[in-house]
Structure 1
Amino acid sequence: MSLADVLDPLRQPLVTVLDTPVSWTEVLGFGSGALCVWLVARQHLANWPIGIANNVFFILLFTQSGLYADAGLQIVFIALAAYGWWTWTHGGGPGTGALPVRRTTRTEWAWLLAAGAVGTLALTVLLDRATDSTVPFWDALTTALSLTATYGQCRKLLESWWLWIAADVVYIPLYAYKELYLTSLLYAGFLTLCLIGLRSWARDPGPAAPRHETAGAAA
């Protein structure tokens, strides 16, 4: 039995939304994604393995829909999930195993914004020239925002929620445009969960960064 034979049932329609068939892949991505974000908001370690399963479902879904940057992004997410899983349990420093929530420093903001800008530009050019993507800039922008947000999540940076919120604001209409209506609805739910997560993490900040390094308030 080939890999295609194994994956084919996941591509089959399960329900129809707005006259558009919704596959098992999209439904499973919906469920695992919602659970993952809810667990992150609660700072529950199980968000990482659930998130990895979600990434696998989305690799299949986005490849089928021509969102190649988003499909490749999921592979990077899997690597970041392994990193985040480790930092959440071992990154708290001497005397503690847990990683505390903290604010993003100015230096970290500078690196994140620079990486996001360069990543967006490079991916836009790559997708425009090397793929048949119809939305190269928006695909690249959401990819860059998601990567910087995930890194911040791995380090439990409070402001990483704002990066996720910015990404979700773009993702919702982007997926609707691609007729991934259930996924668009999922990201509307993600946006709500991000607001809940931001509020939850803001109530549990860890040690503040030095005054000259501290970024502005997040909420």
Structure 2
Amino acid sequence: MHDLVSLFIEQIKETTWVQWLAVALGVAEVLLARVNNIWLYPTGILATALSILLLMEVQLYAESALNVYYVVMSVYGWIHWIKKRDAPSVKVTYSNKNEWMISMAISLGGWAVLYILLRSFTPSNVPLWDAFVSATAWAGMWLLARRKVENWVFLNISNLFAVPLLFYKKLPMFAVLTVFLFVVACFGYFDWRRKAEKVVRYT
């Protein structure tokens, strides 16, 4: 335990100002999202852009590609918010059998494809791990866009495996941010379950 604490402290000392800024912006994005503030989008785009640079430096290529997707979706979300912020939101519901199958296909199929690409075309030394973290996050994001309760399950599986990977790659503050996101996602899951139960009750 003492060795782990010492390693963490040593990694914190080596953390660059860019990583601190990216993490600070990431926390700000989550807090802005919680209060439904449109500034979450530009904040998130900047945080994600910095994350891409840092992840590329440590050869986490699949996570870098995932963050490119986050940037694209943030831009889309920003535009969509401005155009339709007064429109009624899509109701939160549970995934049906077909959506579960698609989610599993994205996770397992994406894991296999990303692993092959990373193994064949990059110098990554963690292709299997990197591919799994990203593939499960892709599935979670797909379900999130469809307002499905289970999105939090897939996102937290991704978060759970991402934490040790980020420590291994000497990105301790990113790991701490991911722990924070894991906790937020746990609350999100139970909150969305309550909303989905209301939809079931009144239909």
TM-score bracket for the superposition, by shorter chain length: 0.7 to 0.9
Quote the offset at 1:102 in angstroms: 1.9
- In structure 1, give the amino acid aligned to 2:185: C
Provide closer, same or farther for how the CA distance between residues 83 and 110 of structure 1 changes in structure 2, counting only shifts above 3 A. farther
Quote the offset at 1:18 in angstroms: 2.3
RMSD of aligned alpha carbons = 2.7
Quote the offset at 1:46 in angstroms: 4.4
Provide closer, same or farther for how the CA distance between residues 48 and 199 of structure 1 changes in structure 2, counting only shifts above 3 A. farther
Quote the offset at 1:87 in angstroms: 6.2
Residue 207 of structure 1 aligns with which residue?
Answer: 199
- In structure 2, give the amino acid aligned to 1:188: V
Quote the offset at 1:51 in angstroms: 2.4
Number of matched pairs: 192
Structure 1 gaps of 5+ residues are 1-16, 212-219
Residue 179 of structure 1 aligns with which residue?
Answer: 170
1:34 aligns with one of 19, 22, 27: 27
2:73 aligns with one of 67, 80, 85: 80
Residue 68 of structure 1 aligns with which residue?
Answer: 61
CA distance in 1, matches of 2:94, 2:37: 19
1:60-108 per-position Cα deviation (integer Å, ceiling 9, x unaligned): 110111111111211111222334456678789xx94322222222211
Residue 154 of structure 2 aligns with which residue?
Answer: 163
- Is the 8 Å Cα contact of residues 89 and 99 (structure 1) preserved in structure 2? no
The normalised TM-score by structure 2 is 0.81
Structure showing the higher strand proportion among its residues: 1
Identity of aligned residues (%): 25
Residue 149 of structure 1 aligns with which residue?
Answer: 140
Structure 2 gaps of 5+ residues are 1-7
CA distance in 1, matches of 2:101, 2:57: 35
Structure showing the higher helix proportion among its residues: 2
Residue 113 of structure 2 aligns with which residue?
Answer: 122
Residue 110 of structure 1 aligns with which residue?
Answer: 101
